[in-house]
Each structure stands twice: as structure tokens, then as C-alpha cells.
Amino acid sequence: MRFTHAAAAFGLAGLLSLTACSGGGASQAAAPAQQKNQELHDLLPDKIKKSGMLNVAAGHNYPPLVFLDTDNKSVIGLEPELMKAIGQVLGVEVSFSQASFDSLIAGVQARRYDLAIQAMLDKPERREKVTFVDYFKTSSSLLVQEKDAQAIKSLDDLCGKTAAVEQGTAQADDAEQQKKKCADAGKPAVQVLVFPDTVGCLQAVSTGRANAFIGGTPTITYQAEQSGGRMKQVGEPYRFLPYGILVNKEDQNLTKAVQQALQKLMENGSYAKILDKWKMSSGALDKAVINGGES
């Protein structure tokens, strides 16, 4: 789906206002160019050093973490900007490959991508397949139409209602668990609508096909703020976990290089500047950690 279709569907004119007001434009880097660290560059796999390119799988429709610029081609947002800064520290260019959320782990395992970043929670079952370098702490929340804001305050209020979720996410698991919980309590089950991307979830809520979208708090908050009051974030955020950059479990030196590059960005203030630009400072981590999610 082209980004322009998505904008028409759920009122993403706010993206344009964000681009216009974000300190010289969303495409302008928040932090200064980073100096190459030769020690960390030397940790990179030979293939990456020879090509001078880091191939990173990314999304394109999860603002403000990642979305398409006004050219409908370039990805911008917190995640692309952070990865570009990490690439500068490592002394390589960063190339982004668009990939669906539920294909990221398999893609990194199969080495179709060197890394992946797309608002993926660092969870134990995922760490059995990939390694995470954590870059942001987050939670999950619910987005509803304004007319449903009083009736729906939590997952428990979804019994007998319809919830939209993105395929392969932790929130999709939450919806299925709530469906069972409702049935076990003798209440009408949750009808779960699974979509391949966030666009479908937002369309479902905006058109009334779904009563709620269960998603990551950063994009839920963003969409509520940009909706002009048509959408509301309801209840309290739940399950606080970090988002992580995905690395192949066998690439221990690459993991170390990415983790230490991120740590340098934290120490020199660039990390904070990037988060501040995208109004995401509340999710800042104190330290770059490997596999720091729940155990």
C-alpha cells in the first residue's frame, strides 16, 4: 500500500506538520555527524567491511518510529536516524530494505539482512532465535474512536468487541489471550482482526470495522495526537519492555559493535538529541544493553 493511501485513510496530514516543524525538517539529522571508530569498525564481518554497507530491514508505517518522507521513498523517523548514526560510528553506510514485521526474525536468521529494526519487543521466546541490542523502552496501549473512549479502558473491556492487531506482534498474542480469557469467564469472545501492517489496523478503527487497535504506545500516542480528537488513547499502558535491534545469534562481534556504537551515541549526547527530535525522550535507556528484556 502506498503511503498516500494510508494518509488518506487515517488522517496523516499530521505527518506533514511534523516534518515541517521538526527543527529544520524531519529529513535533517538531529545529531551531528559521527566520527568513525576504527576499533568498532574492525569488529564488523568481512562482508560488511568490504562492501562498506550495512543492510538493515525496516518498516515504513509506524510513526514516529519510522515512516515515509514526502518523496514516498525515503524512510525517516527515530529508527532510521538512529541506525544511520550507528552506521557512522561503525564507518559504513546504512541501506534500508522494507520488510514486513513478521518476516524480520527469519530474514535475520537467513542473513537476508545484517540487522533489523522495527519496533520489536525484546522477549525471551524471540531471543531463542535472534540477539537484541536494546535501544528504547516502551509499552502497549489501546486506540479507539472518540465515541468508544468511555466504554473501553483496558483489554478486559474488549469482550464482545473487535480488536485490530498487526500480524506477528506481541499485541496479537495479547488479543488472542484476551479472547480466551473472555470465553473462560463466560463472556462474549473478542473478535480479533489481524492485519499485515499498522495501516490496516488504523483503517479498521477509523471506519468502525474494529472497536480498538492494540499497538505499541509510541505510535498509539502519536496517532491519537494527530487525529484531531477523532481517536483516543485509552486506559493505562501495559507491559513495559525494550525495543531491540535484531542481530543473527552467530554474529557476536557484530552484536558487540552495534551495542558499543549505540553506547557511544548515548555518551556523546546524540542519542538524546535523536529521541528529543521525535518527541520520544520518555523512552530513553540509560545504557545500551544486549538482551535486556524480561527473562
CB atoms within 10 A of CB 75: 19
Query: Which amino acid, 265?
Result: L
For the ranges 17-21, 30-34, 106-110, 287-291, the lowest mean pLDDT is seen at 17-21
Q: Which set of grid coordinates corresponds to residue 163?
A: 480488536
How many angstroms separate the most distant Cα atoms in the chain? 62
Question: Model-level pTM?
Answer: 0.85
Between the two ends of the chain, the Cα-to-Cα distance in Å is: 37
pLDDT at 19: 35
Domains of the chain: 3-123+244-290 (3.40.190.10), 139-240 (3.40.190.10)
pLDDT at position 6 over 90: no
Average pLDDT over residues 38-57: 98
For the chain, the average pLDDT equals 91
What CA–CA distance (Å, rounded) separates 165 from 215?
7
H/E stretch holding 154: none
Q: Contact at 8 Å (CB) between 50 and 281?
A: no
Q: Which among 200, 206, 177 has a CA at the least distance from the CA of 189?
A: 177
